[in-house]
Amino acid sequence: MNVENPSVDWEAIGEQLCGLAGKKVDYADVFVQSGAGHSVAFEKGRIEEVSSAASGGVGARVLVNDHSVFSHSPDSSVAGAWNSLEETLSRIGLAPSGKCPSFECVLTFDPARLRVPETEPLKEVDAFIRKASPLVRQVTLRFRVSGRKTLVVRGDGKVMTDDRFHSLFAVQVTVEKKGTIQTGYEVRAFQSEPGNFWESVSPLEVGQQALNRALLMLEASPCPAGKMPVVLAGQAGGTMIHEACGHGLEADIIQKDYSVYRDRLGQRVASPLVTLVDDATIPGAYGSYTFDDEGTPARRNVLIDRGVLKSYLTDVQSARKGNLPLSGNGRRGSYRNLPIPRMSNTFLMPGEDSFESILDKANQGLLVTKMGGGQVNPTSGDFVFQVTEAFLIEKGRIGNPVRGATLIGNGPEALMQIEAVGSDLHFEPGMCGKDGQSVPVTDGQPSLLIRNLLVGGCEIGNGES
């Protein structure tokens, strides 16, 4: 899966990169990709769209005095890589030594390795959901499979190749009762070899969970507002940790002075119960890889250890600029993009508390079982997140469902107020956007108790418990 120096064809590019040392260039690399994908959209009781796509290309980059000079081309051959490198070097007054190699090697991903998605399971899920409740108004199903072959010629001349396969199945159900409309959403996504996805996923179970969530919110009352204890269940997903903390630990944001975590290495930034990890080596996880998009081997990075900030997420440029170790988090959306520090699979390590004991410690407050989208200011750490499924906590027990809740607070302050961490670590896949690029990630957390968080809702509550 991870092969160094696979052929002399690409080694010729590596020799050119090594020869740039000391010639106005601080670092140079070449990224090549070839991929294909299929997607199916099912809506209104029928197949709305079946699409297939293939793409490939090369990006050549050089670093000069902390600046990136970059060229890309849709030609994923050795000649295409040479031409992109030549164009990039010309912008700084240099040229490759010698002539373009005469090799005919092209990086190619064979689309036949991907099985075209079967549509019959989608019809079965749609019929199952509609039969389960007369309140169903709309069912939307999405299934995507993709494969990508990646090759990186690193600045030291080494050639790294990898194959990555991603599969995703998502269900959205809309229900209506007496004019009230609610939506439930459920998704499964991970890396799997072609044809293996349905061995790990029950499409009917995913559909049932989406329907249950929508029906539950139909019966929910307006959420009370005010400061209160908040329990984030493991299945709520690690959205808040990802957004309110993870992005602030990416080294490029740190170096732009946009992060509240700047110059805080070795300092306490969270409760002693908090250990935050980013690990791209988890088998099958949506955000995993063998090496990042700069050819740096993937690794497990402890970012916060028992409340103390230990490290940042880096790519080559930020590591060189800040004299930081390479963490293996240089990622890019495609060959058209420059690599930047990005999370992979980011999660809080589980603790020892049971879910029941966490509810008991909260006593009164809000239990969040599903998070939605939100906004974060990385400079201050302030955040606002939507909640798509929640319950009141009453005397340490799960109470009635509520809707319309938002979580309002500050990331570092919320981390400091974590008073209990559960043993029930749960992962949720997603796509992370940054600087116009999207990459697959996984967010994870166990159940958490945050002692005092401002909840925005539809009714004024009793305030802090």
Q: Tell me the angle at which helices 203-218 and 120-132 cross, rounded to the nearest 10 degrees.
A: 30
Q: How far apart are CA 268 and CA 305, in angstroms?
A: 9
> DSSP letter at 113?
G
Percent of the chain exceeding pLDDT 70 equals 96
Amino acid letter, 81:
A
Homologous superfamily assigned to 3-219: PmbA/TldD superfamily (3.30.2290.10)
Q: Is the model's pLDDT at 463 over the cut of 60?
A: no
Q: Is the model's pLDDT at 464 over the cut of 80?
A: no
pLDDT in tens, 326-344: 999 999 999 999 999 999 9
pLDDT in tens, 52-70: 999 999 999 999 988 999 9
How confident is the model at residue 7, as a pLDDT? 60
Predicted confidence band of residue 290 (pLDDT cuts 50, 70, 90): very high
What's the number of CA atoms in the CB half-sphere (13 Å) around residue 138? 10
Q: Is the model's pLDDT at 239 over the cut of 90?
A: no
- Higher-pLDDT residue of 4, 411: 411
Mean residue pLDDT of the chain comes to 92
Residue 82 contacts by C-beta under 8 Å, 6 or more apart in sequence?
12, 13, 16, 96, 100, 101
Predicted confidence band of residue 462 (pLDDT cuts 50, 70, 90): very low
Q: Which of 31-40, 357-366, 368-377 has the lowest mean pLDDT?
A: 368-377
Q: Is the model's pLDDT at 292 over the cut of 60?
A: yes
Residue 264 contacts by C-beta under 8 Å, 6 or more apart in sequence?
309
Q: Is the model's pLDDT at 6 over the cut of 60?
A: no
Q: Is the model's pLDDT at 73 over the cut of 50?
A: yes
Every domain range in the chain assigned CATH 3.30.2290.10: 3-219
- Beta-strand ranges (E) seen in 263-326 are 276-279, 300-305, 308-309
pLDDT in tens, 415-456: 999 999 999 999 999 999 999 999 999 999 999 999 999 999
Specify the pTM: 0.92
Phi-psi region of 92 (alpha: psi -120 to 50; beta: other; left: phi over 0): alpha
How confident is the model at residue 194, as a pLDDT? 67
How confident is the model at residue 3, as a pLDDT? 39
How confident is the model at residue 5, as a pLDDT? 37
Residue 343, SS3?
Answer: coil
pLDDT in tens, 201-223: 899 999 999 999 999 999 999 99
Residue 110, SS3?
Answer: coil
Closest by CA position to 172, among listed 211, 198, 201: 211
How confident is the model at residue 141, as a pLDDT? 97
Check: CB of residue 226 under 8 Å from CB of residue 459. no
How confident is the model at residue 1, as a pLDDT? 36
Q: Is the model's pLDDT at 465 over the cut of 80?
A: no
Give the DSSP per-residue string, 143-194: EEEEEEEEEEE-TTS-EEEEEEEEEEEEEEEEEEETTEEEEEEEEEEEE--T
What number of other Cβ atoms are within 10 A of residue 172's Cβ?
A: 17
Task: Spell out the long-range contacts of 319-323 with Cβ–Cβ below 8 A and sequence spacing 24 or more.
Answer: 319/251, 320/26, 320/27, 320/63, 320/66, 321/66, 321/255, 322/251, 322/254, 322/255
pLDDT in tens, 158-196: 999 999 999 999 999 999 999 999 999 999 998 977 677
- Higher-pLDDT residue of 244, 69: 69
Q: How far apart are CA 175 and CA 179, in angstroms?
A: 10
How confident is the model at residue 317, as a pLDDT? 97
Q: Mean of the pLDDT values across residues 222-235? A: 96
- At residue 420, φ and ψ (nearest 5 deg) are -155, 140
pLDDT in tens, 11-27: 889 988 988 877 889 99
Q: How far apart are CA 388 and CA 233, in angstroms?
A: 13
Q: Is the model's pLDDT at 38 over the cut of 60?
A: yes
Q: How far apart are CA 87 and CA 93, in angstroms?
A: 10
Q: Is the model's pLDDT at 2 over the cut of 60?
A: no
